[in-house]
């Protein structure tokens, strides 16, 4: 068997299945009846995500389930979340031009899309050029449009992806339980009216817990209350609306204190200002 041979003889090598069927056990061990691949592309996640983000934000409340459904099967395989070359060829348009709105909104949408991708369970695949919002479809005969980095929105996108990669490497909650339900828990999956999604990513230690808040409309949500996984002080460690990312610079500064006020079925909560078309990530304050 190929996978048994690869994993038995070559340390550090992975096999990844680009596979779109519901055939079971693609990444399960061969001895347990699986095919033995290390990871499998999560094509359903990719399709649902792009369908959702192509919607004008005013209509996203009618498609809320497209971003919540994938968690129902996310841990049935070792999934990789792919935005591959297949999504930016043959008239499908580049990633930035899949996004609705004016220029600022297109870039804000793409920044929050990538933050959503990096904070979901599973490993990541982002095709070259996507990291700085290449405007043309990929063409193997030509180089990437590196000259776009002279423009602040594209430089901001590259800076965003660089920061997300650093966050992914340094925050255990984003990688310790990548393929297990232990690493993910919804706080609020049902606020379709405001197109808001709130969830936890969890590592092996409670102190590493992250709270991820996605605002997928261009409306600035002030004093929005969210339930806490436990009583603790919190701080904002990442925000796609940062000015260095070409955002509008709306932050939650300083330490955020818990309040004994029930919200989202939890005893303690906090009140936040959530930037438009943005992802905010919180971690316990030391």
Looking up residue 131, the CATH number of its domain turns out to be 3.20.20.80
Looking up residue 223, the CATH number of its domain turns out to be 2.60.40.1180
- Give mean pLDDT, residues 224-250: 97
pLDDT score recorded for residue 21: 87
Cα maximum dimension of the chain: 60
Under 8 Å between Cβ of 226 and 188: yes
pLDDT score recorded for residue 52: 98
* 41 shares its domain with 120: yes
Q: Work out the pLDDT band at 208, boundaries 50, 70, 90.
A: very high
* 131 shares its domain with 48: yes
Residue 229: pLDDT over 90: yes
Structural domains in the chain (count): 2
Indicate the average pLDDT of the chain: 96
What are the strands, taking DSSP E only, across 2-58? 16-17, 39-41
pLDDT score recorded for residue 214: 98
- Give mean pLDDT, residues 10-21: 92
Residue 22: pLDDT over 90: no
Shortest CA distance to 225 belongs to which of 248, 196, 247, 254? 196
pLDDT score recorded for residue 247: 97
Who contacts 217 (Cβ-Cβ below 8 Å, separation ≥6)?
A: 57, 58, 60, 194, 195, 276, 277
- Give mean pLDDT, residues 59-80: 97
* 132 shares its domain with 249: no
Among the candidates 174, 201, 232, a domain finishes at: 174
* 134 shares its domain with 234: no
Rounded to whole angstroms, the Cα distance separating 55 from 51 reads 7
What are the backbone angles phi and psi of residue 43, rounded to the nearest 5°? -65, -35
Among the candidates 154, 174, 194, a domain finishes at: 174
Residue-number span of the structural domain to which 220 is assigned: 182-284
Among the candidates 111, 139, 174, a domain finishes at: 174
pLDDT score recorded for residue 194: 98
* 202 shares its domain with 136: no
pLDDT score recorded for residue 56: 97
Calculate what percentage of the chain has a pLDDT beyond 90. 98
Rounded to whole angstroms, the Cα distance separating 241 from 178 reads 26
* 37 shares its domain with 109: yes
pLDDT score recorded for residue 236: 98
* 125 shares its domain with 165: yes
Under 8 Å between Cβ of 74 and 121: yes
- Give mean pLDDT, residues 89-111: 96
* 190 shares its domain with 170: no
Residue 152: pLDDT over 90: yes
Give tens-digit pLDDT for 115-146. 999 999 999 999 999 999 999 999 999 999 99
* 37 shares its domain with 133: yes
Q: What's the whole-model pTM score? A: 0.96
What are the strands, taking DSSP E only, across the chain? 16-17, 39-41, 79-83, 123-126, 184-191, 196-201, 210-215, 221-227, 234-239, 269-274, 278-284
In this structure, are strands 79-83 and 196-201 parallel, antiparallel, or unpaired? unpaired
* 28 shares its domain with 154: yes
Residue 20: pLDDT over 90: no
Rounded to whole angstroms, the Cα distance separating 245 from 279 reads 12
Rounded to whole angstroms, the Cα distance separating 286 from 275 reads 24
List, in sequence order, every residue forming a beta bridge with 212; answer none if it has no partner: 199, 281
* 278 shares its domain with 227: yes
From residue 173, give the alpha-carbon distance in Å to each of 35, 211, 258. Answer: 28, 10, 21
Residue 200: pLDDT over 90: yes
- Give mean pLDDT, residues 212-236: 97
């Amino acid at each position: 068997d190929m996978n048994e041979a690869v994993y038995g003889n070559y340390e550090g090598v992975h096999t990844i299945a680009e596979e779109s069927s519901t055939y079971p056990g693609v990444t399960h061990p061969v001895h347990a009846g699986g095919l033995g691949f290390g990871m499998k592309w999560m094509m359903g996640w990719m399709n649902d995500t792009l369908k959702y983000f192509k919607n004008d934000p005013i209509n996203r409340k009618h498609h809320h389930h497209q971003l919540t459904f994938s968690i129902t099967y996310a841990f049935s395989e070792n999934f990789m979340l792919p935005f591959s070359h297949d999504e930016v060829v043959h008239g499908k348009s580049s990633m930035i031009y899949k996004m609705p709105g004016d220029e600022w909104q297109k870039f804000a949408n793409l920044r929050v899309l990538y933050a959503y991708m990096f904070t979901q369970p599973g490993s990541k695949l982002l095709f070259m050029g996507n990291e700085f919002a290449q405007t043309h479809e990929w063409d193997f005969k030509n180089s990437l449009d590196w000259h776009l980095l002279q423009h602040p929105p594209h430089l901001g996108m590259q800076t965003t992806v660089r920061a997300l990669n650093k966050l992914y490497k340094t925050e255990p909650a984003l990688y310790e339980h990548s393929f297990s339900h232990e690493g993910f828990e919804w706080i609020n999956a049902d606020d379709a009216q405001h197109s808001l999604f709130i969830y936890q990513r969890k590592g092996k230690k409670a102190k590493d817990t992250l709270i991820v808040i996605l605002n997928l409309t261009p409306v600035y949500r002030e004093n929005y209350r969210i339930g806490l996984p436990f009583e603790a002080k919190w701080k904002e460690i990442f925000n796609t609306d940062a000015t260095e990312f070409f955002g509008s610079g709306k932050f939650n500064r300083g330490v955020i204190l818990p309040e004994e006020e029930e919200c989202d079925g939890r005893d303690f909560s906090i009140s936040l200002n959530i930037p438009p078309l943005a992802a905010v990530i919180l971690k316990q304050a030391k």
